[in-house]
Structure 1
Amino acid sequence: MRVVVIGSGAGGLTVASNLRKYSKEVEITVFTMEDKVAYSPCAIPYVIGGDIDSFEEIVMHTPEYYGKHGINIVTESEVLEVASSQNLIKYRLINGDESAPELITLKYDYLVIATGGYPFIPPVEGNDLEGVFKVRTIEDGAKIKEWSKTSSKAVIVGAGAIGLELGYGLKQIGIEVSVTEMLPQVLPRSLDPDMALKVQEYLEGQGVRIILNNALTKIVGVDVAEEAVVGDIKMDADLVILSTGVRPSIELAKQAGCNIGDMGVVVNERMETSVSNIYAVGDCVEVHDGITGQKTLSPFGTTAVRQGKVAAKNLAGKDAVFRPVLNSVVSKIGELEVGAVGLTEESAKMNGIEVVVGKSQALTRARYYPGCKPIDTKLICGLDGTILGCQIIAKETVAERVDTMAMAIAKQVKCNEITEMEFSYAPPVSMVVDPAVMAAEDALKKLSS
């Protein structure tokens, strides 16, 4: 059996690695346009900001490593055609040879489309000037890092997690930074306005300028970026980073005849597309929200890995399903850790779900223990007390707390059950009453009033 995987991101490589674990006989070929594989794009801001010394450190494995395990990685290659009726793909090598030879054909028994997403570039004047960058790959990151060595003023367009991480990192290496966002808050997908304000105030306290409610109008310069204009605000900028999100790469799936939904490639719970021997995983597929049931995107490495494992098991003749998502996220912006899972108060309202909110302001450790830090917790609960969402901000222990709440939401735990749960306690690592319990108790008061 020959399995061809298009894409070497988290989803594609997880399919390849796990399929090899289940079967030594299957022939596995992975195509990628890059020369490096097995790295996390989420680490790029931390290399640019100097927390990680080099991009080489975030590369976990080489193509040669996979080759030793019987997985053929074809680097610097572009798949241009998928002829699903003939079970074949056509690709070309893109190793700098502009006079590329005619397309190379390869047959497959099963195809996995893991084409990921492509950066959305605002269609504004000047977006092609030198000094203007997208941020998606190691190559993008390396270009930004090199350019930043001679930069003094940066404008980052987009106040999602990557944009804020980049903003803090560039500020730390001595660059004057402005982060702009067309919506009225930072982290608009993950946080409610009240929690987002805490992140904004932290960044402003670190010297990062935040400009909200203003879209990028144009980038001005002669060959090289000199100024960014957002709304009516003009800012000097010799470095502009477009951190404006990604869009699913669906062209090859569409060409193959796979059904395309409102968000991305349509797959079933086994990660199968509408074409019988074609699977799809990662940022290119649409998924279902675990609370509302609506179609959504989940462009996270953790989602891609879970999908890849499901696809690999099913390709190997085992039985596995991918569950609807809660989109657990966590980010480290300077000293601040920010995490969220499930619905926000705003998204609940948009979906017509009535909710109550429980909040707590507590500490990460016993108040008398050295190094204790403030922690803000917000729970979004249905009128029957079921927990639908959680947001946490602190300078430590956020990820594990968000993971706990992800499990609670997945299991439809109610506020009263949280207050009755057994939490661990030791002064150096926790309070005797967990902050989540305090927030749940606050929600219960409102539910009973």
Structure 2
Amino acid sequence: MKVAVIGCTHAGTTAIKNIVNLYPDAEIDVLERNDNVSFLSCGIALSVGGVVENPEDLFYASVPQFERLGVRMHMNHDVISCDVTAKQLQAKDLKTDTIKNYSYDKLIIASGSWPITPPIPGADLENVLLCKNYDHAKEIINRSASVRNVVVVGAGYIGVELVEAFEENGKNVTLIDSEERILNRYLDDIFTEPVEASFEQRGVQLALGQTVSQFEGEETVEKVITDKGEYAADLVVMCIGFRPNTGLFNNQLDMLGNGAIVVDAYMQTSVKDVFAAGDCCAIYNNATKQSAYIPLATNAVRMGTLVAHNLVRPVMAHPGTQGTSGLKLYHHNIASTGLTESAASLSGVSVDSVVYKDNYRPDFMPENAEIQLKLVYETETHRIVGAQVISDADFTQAINTISVGIANNMTVEQLALTDFFFQPHYNKPVNFLNEVALKAMAKKAGKTQKQAVLS
């Protein structure tokens, strides 16, 4: 069996490792446009901030490792055409410009995503950088060493983590985003407000609700112009978001409107023997019961694993995702899963919500911390569809618990009565997960009683 793999970051790396174990006789050709594999781009901010001293430590697999397993690694090779019907592709060696044809029995598309780059005048100036791969990481680290004013464009996870890293390195930092608040895709406002306050207390300038219109400078960027102001900049990092890197397969495979490849539960595309995994494709969202584009490393690893297992025949279905994620900024420990209220509205899911806010230990304990937990649930069925948590203590694992609940269509009533242990060092007699669900039940009961009185 000849297997061709396009791309070798999270999904590609995981697929290859599993294929080698499951099908020892498979002939595997890996085509990767970079000279490295398995780079953890989510660790770039940790490297910028000095938490990780060497960017090289952000790899978890290597080309020699795969070659020792018999995998044919074609690095610095850009796939320039692919005929999924004829099972043929062409790749260009970026070092020699040589073009070579490859045939395959099975194709795995793990081409990932690429940063969104709007056509902003001045974007070609020196020190206007992207943040995605190993080369970007090295550029950001090297160029930020000698600059004073840093502008980060985009207030998603990568953007806010970079802001924290730059600020802690003593830079004057400005964060620009067209939305009115940070992290709006992941958290509701009561969770983003304390983080914004922490940024402002540390001197970070938040330029929210603003759109970048131009970069100015002679050869190197000096200023960022928005529709509401202008900001000094010796370095700009663009973190607007990502789009699937799938142009090669336009008009060949079924895709979402943004170019994300549509796959079934076994990771097969609309064409037989063509599979896709990772940031290049859509995934089933258990909260909305629809396919969606949720580019996360965790999703990519699971999808890469499934591609390998289903390569010969469908044996293991994807369980769906909740888009669960976590974040640490300064003293804030944050995590979320499923839908926020605003995301639910955009998805057409009618929801209600409750917020639980209290100390997590009994009051007699000498040390304590406040936990703020929000539960989002479907109005009619009471099915849990989302949750968020923030605290100075680490309760992020609670969101993993609720993620499992969403995957299994758990209701607030079921969560309210779930068996969680009690020990004063860790929680109260009624666990905070039970408490937030009980609060949802009480809210529903109150509404029902009010409706009965009014009727």
Scaled by the length of structure 1, what TM-score is found? 0.94
Structure 1 residues 79 and 354 mapped into 2: Cα distance closer, same or farther (>3 Å)? Answer: closer
Q: Which amino acid aligns with 1:2?
A: K
Q: Which residue of 2 aligns with 1:258?
A: 253
Aligned counterpart in structure 1 of residue 355 of structure 2, from 354, 359, 362: 359
Structure 1 residues 105 and 364 mapped into 2: Cα distance closer, same or farther (>3 Å)? Answer: farther
Q: Structure 1: which 5+ residue stretches go unaligned? A: none
Aligned counterpart in structure 1 of residue 299 of structure 2, from 298, 303, 316: 303
Where 2:265 maps in the other structure, the secondary structure is coil
Q: Which residue of 2 aligns with 1:345?
A: 341
Q: Deviations over 1:337-371 (max 9, x none)?
A: 22111111112233443322111113355555566
Aligned counterpart in structure 1 of residue 284 of structure 2, from 261, 278, 288: 288
Where 1:339 maps in the other structure, the secondary structure is strand
Q: Is the 8 A contact 2:341 2:376 kept in 1?
A: yes
Q: Which amino acid aligns with 1:261?
A: L
Moved more, 22-31 or 424-433: 424-433
Whole-Å Cα distance in 1 between the matches of residues 367 and 223 of structure 2? Answer: 42
Q: Which residue of 2 aligns with 1:48?
A: 48
Aligned counterpart in structure 1 of residue 395 of structure 2, from 394, 398, 405: 398
Aligned-CA RMSD value: 1.8
1:440 aligns with 2:437: yes
Q: Aligned-pair distance for 1:318?
A: 5.4
Q: Which residue of 2 aligns with 1:37?
A: 37
Q: Aligned-pair distance for 1:309?
A: 1.3
Q: Deviations over 1:104-143 (max 9, x none)?
A: 1111111111111111012111111101111000110110
Q: Is the 8 A contact 1:49 1:169 kept in 2?
A: yes
4+ residue segments displaced more than 4 Å: 364-371
Q: Aligned-pair distance for 1:93?
A: 1.5
Q: Is the 8 A contact 1:359 1:379 kept in 2?
A: yes
Q: Is the 8 A contact 1:356 1:447 kept in 2?
A: no
Q: Is the 8 A contact 1:356 1:446 kept in 2?
A: no
Q: Which amino acid aligns with 2:49?
A: G
Q: Aligned-pair distance for 1:151?
A: 0.8
1:411 aligns with 2:413: no
Q: Which residue of 2 aligns with 1:331?
A: 327
Q: Which amino acid aligns with 1:13?
A: T
Whole-Å Cα distance in 2 between the matches of residues 37 and 369 of structure 1? Answer: 49
Whole-Å Cα distance in 2 between the matches of residues 169 and 269 of structure 1? Answer: 39
Q: Structure 2: which 5+ residue stretches go unaligned? A: 447-455
1:104 aligns with 2:128: no
Where 1:91 maps in the other structure, the secondary structure is strand
Whole-Å Cα distance in 1 between the matches of residues 83 and 178 of structure 2? Answer: 41
Q: Which amino acid aligns with 2:4?
A: V
Moved more, 317-326 or 132-141: 317-326
Where 1:146 maps in the other structure, the secondary structure is helix
Q: Is the 8 A contact 2:306 2:316 kept in 1?
A: yes
Where 1:422 maps in the other structure, the secondary structure is coil
Whole-Å Cα distance in 1 between the matches of residues 317 and 263 of structure 2? Answer: 11
Moved more, 42-51 or 435-444: 435-444
Q: Deviations over 1:231-253 (max 9, x none)?
A: 22111110111100001111122
Whole-Å Cα distance in 1 between the matches of residues 363 and 234 of structure 2? Answer: 46
Moved more, 393-402 or 21-30: 393-402
Q: Which residue of 2 aligns with 1:272?
A: 268
Aligned residues: 444
Q: Which amino acid aligns with 1:390?
A: A
Q: Aligned-pair distance for 1:170?
A: 0.5
Q: Aligned-pair distance for 1:47?
A: 0.3
Whole-Å Cα distance in 2 between the matches of residues 253 and 366 of structure 1? Answer: 58
Q: Which amino acid aligns with 2:256?
A: G
Q: Which residue of 2 aligns with 1:153?
A: 149
Q: Deviations over 1:44-75 (max 9, x none)?
A: 11101111111011111210011122222221
Where 1:348 maps in the other structure, the secondary structure is helix
Structure 1 residues 161 and 416 mapped into 2: Cα distance closer, same or farther (>3 Å)? Answer: same
Whole-Å Cα distance in 2 between the matches of residues 245 and 163 of structure 1? Answer: 9
Q: Which residue of 1 aligns with 2:178?
A: 182
1:420 aligns with 2:407: no
Q: Which amino acid aligns with 1:82?
A: C
Structure 1 residues 134 and 57 mapped into 2: Cα distance closer, same or farther (>3 Å)? Answer: same
Structure 1 residues 370 and 51 mapped into 2: Cα distance closer, same or farther (>3 Å)? Answer: farther
Q: Which residue of 2 aligns with 1:242?
A: 238
Structure 2 matches for 1:66-85, cutoff 5 A?
66-85=66-85
Q: Is the 8 A contact 1:364 1:396 kept in 2?
A: no
Whole-Å Cα distance in 2 between the matches of residues 51 and 437 of structure 1? Answer: 36
Sequence identity (%): 25
Whole-Å Cα distance in 2 between the matches of residues 370 and 3 of structure 1? Answer: 60
Q: Which amino acid aligns with 1:360?
A: Y
Q: Aligned-pair distance for 1:33?
A: 1.2
Q: Is the 8 A contact 2:266 2:314 kept in 1?
A: no
Whole-Å Cα distance in 2 between the matches of residues 331 and 73 of structure 1? Answer: 34
Structure 2 matches for 1:85-234, cutoff 5 A?
85-95=85-95, 97=96, 100-101=97-98, 103-234=99-230
Whole-Å Cα distance in 1 between the matches of residues 173 and 362 of structure 2? Answer: 36
Q: Aligned-pair distance for 1:307?
A: 1.0
Q: Which amino acid aligns with 2:149?
A: K
Q: Is the 8 A contact 2:13 2:61 kept in 1?
A: no
Whole-Å Cα distance in 2 between the matches of residues 144 and 352 of structure 1? Answer: 40
Q: Is the 8 A contact 1:359 1:440 kept in 2?
A: no
Q: Which amino acid aligns with 1:424?
A: F
